Structure 1
Amino acid sequence: MKYIVIGFCAFLSLYQAHAQQKINPDNYVWVERKVKASAYNSTKAQTIGNPSIGAWGDKLEPGMLAIAISRDLIKLGITRHTPFKIEGYPGYYLVKDKMHARHKNKIDLYMGDDIQKAREFGVRTLNVEYGILKK
């Protein structure tokens, strides 16, 4: 069983690295923004409905570089699969979920099932860049 878990983790790492390569930053106009940021997990207590399914129907799995956005950000052209570069975090985070309408100018970093990591993240203000596809 131990080797199955190790093999799965290796596969997941390779899959995520491959998924990250699909983002060609030259295909986007990058827009800077300061947002409030928090973190969330795949737990019933933190979500409505199936905790492993995002608002657009994407399956959320631990290890993914995914975020949820406040709905007001959709008016800026940010939508499902929009890439984000987040200050202090490597890689591109993709929008896979959206938050309740009460939140404004906010993102939520997905932290799988690691509740302690999400608590330690807390709430902070971060500089981000989001990519809008060039026409």
Structure 2
Amino acid sequence: MKMHLYWLGIITVFLFSCKMEVEEKCVSKSFIVTATAYNSLAYQTSSNPSITAFGDSLKPGLRYIAVSRDLLDSGLVHNTKVKLEGFDSLFTVKDKMNRRWRNRIDIYMGIDVKKAKNWGKKRLNIEYCLPVKDSVTR
């Protein structure tokens, strides 16, 4: 019994000392976009303002963005994490904008219309990472 506990302890220490996570390889992309803000209110979006074009539910306080559809082709797809210039945390792509917009993002600001209006319209740099497919075949 003591020998089993000894080996169990050794194996546990070994597993916790090894790096268990797999690092995802990616290519960093960065460019300038026009950034505006939006709220989850029917007059700004649709008759169901809390549901995004991807089908996700919006909740005030979460850091989400909508992207113009041309940016989807640049790798800014659903659930991509994005660093916005001037912000200290990442945003997640959770919505897509009307087809008329190009090279644009919309920052989700809950139901705070005043905050969205104060943000206005800005040009800012965004950064994100595109996963690189592993070329090794099995």
TM over 0.5: yes
- Matching residue of 1:49: 47
Helix, strand or coil at the partner of 2:43: helix
Structure-1-length-normalised TM-score? 0.78
- Matching residue of 1:103: 101
Helix, strand or coil at the partner of 2:73: helix
- Matching residue of 2:61: 63
RMSD: 1.7
Residue 31 of structure 1 is aligned with which of 29, 32, 39? 29
- Matching residue of 1:80: 78
Moved over 2 A (4+): 25-29
Larger Cα Rg: Structure 1 or Structure 2?
A: 2
CA 1:41–1:128 in 2, change beyond 3 Å: closer, same or farther? same
Q: Where does the alignment leave 5 or more consecutive residues of structure 2 unmatched?
A: 1-22, 134-138
Identity %: 46
Helix, strand or coil at the partner of 1:46: coil
Structure-2-length-normalised TM-score? 0.76
Q: Deviations over 1:44-90 (max 9, x none)?
A: 01002310011111110001110000001111122100111000011
Q: Where does the alignment leave 5 or more consecutive residues of structure 1 unmatched?
A: 1-24
